[in-house]
Amino acid sequence: MDWVIWLIWIVKGFFLAMFLLVGFAYLTWYERRALARIQVRVGPNRAGPFGLLQPIADAVKLIFKEELTPAKAYKIVFFLAPIITMVPSIIIAAVIPWGPQEPQVKLFGYTISLYVADINVGVLYLMSIASIAVYGIVLAGWSSNSKYAMLGGLRSTAQMISYEITLGLAFVTVILLAGSMRMLDIVEAQRSWWFVVIQPVGAAVFLIAVLAEVNRAPFDMPEAEQELTAGYHAEYSGMKFALFFMAEYQKMIVVSAIAATVFFGGYLGPFVHRWPLLGPIYMLIKIIILLFGMIWVRATWPRVRYDRLMAFGWKVMLPLALAIVFITGFGILLAQELGDPIYLTVIPAASIVAGVIAVIMVNRALTRKRILSYEPR
């Protein structure tokens, strides 16, 4: 019996890792095709039907590339950095539930739960693993002994830790609404209303912070091609570079999965409690829609300048996130004390007001800056 549990763990872990690996490969394909359609191009279409074999061709090419290590690099750290970046991007997905606990899924007579691990501090786990990813980037930038890599590493570290606070506060609103840190509870709490409906501004804050966390456009400072050529992974080549690349795209998939879980009802959908295997399908649909959003943003928006990005994170996002935490708490309290869930509508109403105020503040800051700099020198 014992070895069966081990086997289940290994098989489930293997499935999850493979899902993310294949997902990464086809996300690159999907991104390139989607970008191409947006940019009146065709995109990769030579390798296989619709270019579907393109990721494989890319992988083979990267395997046959020479691995270069700069002469004065810190060799061990330089070797470890891509691994430290890549591993968290896979294991962070462990707590994401892919289907409901009830009814149980039976396979070969064994009960299979549709998650790798169900820990009662799921949100805390997500936050802690997410912050490990910073180490890989800063170590990669530092150990390369190259100025571009160093600047990129510093930039991304400062950026990621700044937005991590906002991300954490966005998680707090979710915990407030669900009353639990367990991912399954959070999903089940959304059976009547998805949290994006109750706390739309919270979801927006979460999505923006997530874009900054995974270094995607318009917050792709660390990689800012036009400024820092490639940022922290400028010195990496071959498979070590592929690991960074892999980590970035796996993180995209994972954060989309997390966003779907905490704000967009996770595996919830019609009939999912009758046929639990529908859960993963609903998840996948939601993930793909969120991923398309990220690609869309990348195709259309210029990059924010670095100082503006930091100012936005500290001066706008952080106060806004704090405000919506208290708005959520107040709304829940109101509904609880007065015994009528109708009072929960206070939350979206007040949050939207807070969001509008934040947007006005940003606009005002831009206007003020303009007037100042226009004064005669």
Partner 1 sequence: MAATPLQTQTVDLAARFPSAVSVDARNGYTGWLVEKDKLLEIARSIKEELGYDLLTSVTGVDYLPEEKMEVVYHAYKTTGGPGLIFKVQVPRQDPIEIPSVTPLWPGVDFQEREIWDLLGIKFTGHPDLRRILLWEGFAGHPLRKDWKEGFYEEDAKPFKSRWPEGNYVSSEEKNPYKDNLSFPKNFDPEKWIPEGEAALYGALARYTETDEQGIKSDRIVVNMGPQHPSTHGVFRAVVTVEGETILSLKPVVGYLHRNHEKIGERNTFLLNMPYTDRLDYFNSMSNNFGYALAVEKLMNIPVAERADYIRIIMAELSRVQNHLVLVGMLLNDLGAMYTPALYIFEERELILDIFEAVSGSRMMCNYFRFGGVARDIPEDVLQKIKDLVFKRLPAKTDEMDRFLSENEVLVSRLKGIPVIDGPSAVQYSITGPVLRAAGIPYDIRRADPYGIYDRFEFDVAMRTHGDLMDNYLIRLDEIRQSIRILEQAVSKIPSGPINSQKPQYQVRVPAGEAYGRIEAPKGELGYYVISNGKPNPWRYHVRAPSFINITGLEKMCVGKKIADFIAILGVLDIVLGELDR
Partner 2 sequence: MHEYIAIAVLIGLATLIALIAIVLGELFGPKKKSAVKSMPYESGMDPYGEGTRRMPVHFYLIAVLFILFDIEVVFFLPWAVVFRKLGLFGLIEMIIFIAILLVGYVYAWKKGALEWE
Q: Could you list the residues that contact partner 1 (CB under 8 A)?
A: 35, 38-41, 147-148, 150-151, 155, 217-218, 220, 224-229, 298-308, 366, 369-370, 372-374, 377
Please identify which residue in 87, 288, 297, 362 interacts with partner 2, judged by CB under 8 A: 87
Specify burial of residue 96 (Cβ count, 10 A radius: 0-12, 13-18, 19+).
buried
| Residue 12 within binding range of partner 2, rule CB under 8 A | yes
For residues 122-161, which are near partner 2 according to CB under 8 A? 123-124, 127, 142, 144-150, 154, 157-158, 161
- The option from partner 2, partner 1, none interacting with 373 (CB < 5 to 8 A, set by class) reads partner 1
Beta pairing partners, 110? 107
Which residues ranging from 278 to 337 are in contact with partner 2 (CB under 8 A)? 306-307, 310-311, 314-315, 318, 322, 325-326, 329-330, 332-333, 336-337
DSSP string, 146-161: -HHHHHHHHHHHHHHH
**Residue list 170-189, contact with partner 2 (CB under 8 A):** 171-172, 175-176, 179-181
Token couple for 46 = 């030579």
Q: Would you state the structure tokens that stand for residue 150, as one six-digit string?
A: 């160093």
What residues between 197 and 236 interact with partner 2 by CB under 8 A? 229, 234-235
Q: Which is nearer to partner 2, 184 or 272 (CB)?
A: 184
Vertex 105, ends 97 and 89: CA angle to 5°?
25
372 binds, among partner 2, partner 1, none (CB under 5 to 8 A by kind): partner 1
Q: List the one residue out of 156, 112, 313 whose CA is nearest residue 244.
A: 156
**C-beta closer to partner 1: residue 148 or 163:** 148
Cβ-based nearer residue to partner 1, 72 or 191: 72
Placement of tokens 């206070």 in the chain: 346
Contact partners, residue 303, CB within 8 Å, separation at least 6: 217, 218, 219, 220, 221, 224, 226
